[in-house]
Structure 1
Amino acid sequence: MPQERPGRPEIYSDQQLKDILLRFAVENPGKKISPFQLEKETGIKRHVWSRRMKHIIDDLSTPVEKEFGGKDGSLPLPNIAELVELNWDNKNKLIHSLSHINELLQSMYEQALLYHNKCSEYEELEQKFNQLAHENHQLKDRVNYFEKKYMEVVVQSTYSSIQKEQGLKNVIQLKSKSIEQPGLSTNFSKDFKDLFE
């Protein structure tokens, strides 16, 4: 039974204030609750909250421990049975405490989802890299093959016997001024003197 207070009659009973406080705590999980916030959200003066509900507000504002990574690599979570036992008579505190667990699980889910997406991206990039590396290797083999064939043709074309055998005519040969080769349709050392000075 609420205690009689002298002065102006109370507009809200203690139970009504507790219900409003509970709704606020559920709608704002994990946030520190202050009389100022409650006044702003509910329109009920902060001195009413701080005078009549201070101990409940303090209880609700104390967060549940939720550090990541224990010494053994496990995730230390609050003991649900202990939370219920300690807060059996305080529904507001119990709901607020359990809302921290919801936040923790939501955060862990978002991190796991982000990790899963990054792993998928990594696998796609790895496949693309392997494909490009394979294509690059094939192209290098082709370049080497054609370079080898080109060098064979260049070397072979310098021999007049191979030129006749292959049916090559008008093969361009660059010679210095002192060496002249008969049978060429073009004499570069005479026709392009600037190249050989």
Structure 2
Amino acid sequence: MISKSKGRPQKVSDNELRKMLVEYSSDYLGKVTYLGLERETGIKRHVWSRRMSKEIDRLNEPLISYTDNDDKLPLPNIELIVEQHFENKKHLVQALSHINDVVQALYDQNLTLKNKNHSLEEKLEQQTDKNKKLDQTIKEYEEIIVGSAYGVVRKDKKIKKNLVSIEAQNEVAATSLNFKKMFPNIFN
């Protein structure tokens, strides 16, 4: 006695569906969707979801293997890529070419960042030298200003008069400790 299978007879076999899925995935990089498959092949979405869901899920798995250490670069899982695309050399070459392109882009970005880092280090060194020179100039001016109070220093530096002087009108204010009166803007 022959047992009949329930439902409508299949118009397309599973092997044919797999071949169409491989062709579709090799032509369209990225996530494989049921709607995209329906549009491309004319076979309804429910057929794809019932009969090829495992294969489609396997194709949509990320090809990158992540490690526990976040400091390392997430590397592609080569074994998974080869396993997924073993029967379709064109798609395997495309996947490996994509990996190669990503590695090359990262290398180029690394070179650009190294050059930028080098130029920034040079600028930092120049600014540090400039700051040291300015600090030295400030110290020299401070020594001249403070030293101008002494007659010997004025004579040695050829300064005509004391650069810091307390005149009679501000003598009381200079010796006073009433900071609120001297600096009203600070103590509002």
Distance 1:23-1:56 versus aligned 2 partners, 3 A rule: farther
Partner deviation per Cα, 1:135-155 (whole Å, 9 max, x = no partner): 111111112222222333321
Secondary structure at 2:65 match in 1: coil
Query: Do 2:76 and 2:99's aligned partners in 1 also have CA atoms closer than 8 Å?
Result: no
Residue of structure 2 equivalent to 1:119:
114
1:27 alignment counterpart = 27
SS at match of 1:154: coil
Aligned residue in 2 for 1:78: 78
CA contact (8 A) 1:36 1:46 kept: yes
CA separation of 1:55 and 1:107: change in aligned 2, threshold 3 A: same
The letter of the residue matching 1:35 is: Y
Larger RCO of the pair (alpha carbons < 8 Å, separation 6+):
1
Distance in structure 2 (CA, Å) of the matches to 1:172 and 1:130? 35
Task: Give the AA of the match of 1:67.
Answer: S
Structure 2: unaligned runs, 5 residues or longer: 1-7, 174-188
Q: CA deviation at 1:83?
A: 4.1
Matched residue, 2:180: none
**Quick one: structure 1 residues 157 and 42, their matched pair in 2 at CA, closer, same or farther if it must change by over 3 Å?**
farther
Q: Within 2, Cα distance between the matches of 1:173 and 1:69?
A: 68
Cα offset, 1:63, TM superposition: 4.8
State whether residues 66 and 104 of structure 1, in contact with CA within 8 Å, keep that contact through their aligned partners in structure 2: no
Q: 2:65 aligns with which of 54, 64, 67?
A: 67
Contact 1:35 1:49 in 2 (8 A): yes
On the 8 A contact 1:158/1:173 being kept in 2, the answer is: no
The separation in 1 between residues aligned to 2:111 and 2:164, in whole angstroms, is: 64
* Cα root mean square deviation, aligned: 5.0
Equivalents in 1 of 2:124, 2:106: separation in Å?
A: 26
Task: Write the distance in 2 (CA, Å) between the matches of 1:173 and 1:36.
Answer: 86
Give the greater-gyration-radius structure (CA): 1
- 1:96 and 1:70, CA in 2 relative to 1: closer, same or farther beyond 3 A? farther
Equivalent AA in structure 2 for residue 78 of structure 1: I
Match of 1:106 among 88, 101, 106: 101
**Alpha-carbon distance change, 131 to 97 in structure 1, aligned in 2, over 3 angstroms:** same
Structure 1 residue 122: Cα displacement: 1.7
Which residue matches 1:182?
A: none
Q: How far is 1:173 from its partner?
A: 9.1
| Preserved contact between residue 25 and residue 96 of structure 1 (Cα < 8 Å) | yes
1:61 Cα deviation after fit: 1.8
The answer on whether the counterparts of 2:18 and 2:52 sit within 8 Å (CA) in structure 1 is: no
CA shift in 2, pair 1:172/1:21, >3 Å: closer
1:37 equivalent in alignment to 2:65: no
Across the two proteins, how many residue pairs are aligned to each other? 161
CA contact (8 A) 1:35 1:50 kept: yes
1:141 is aligned to 136
Q: Give me the TM-score of the superposition, normalised by structure 2.
A: 0.53
Instruction: Please name the residue that 1:131 is paired with.
Output: 126
Aligned mate of 2:148, from 136, 145, 153:
153
Hey, what's the Cα distance between the residues in 1 that align with 2:57 and 2:159? 101
Pairwise CA distance, 1:97: 4.0
Question: Which runs of 5 or more residues in structure 1 are unaligned?
Answer: 1-6, 176-187
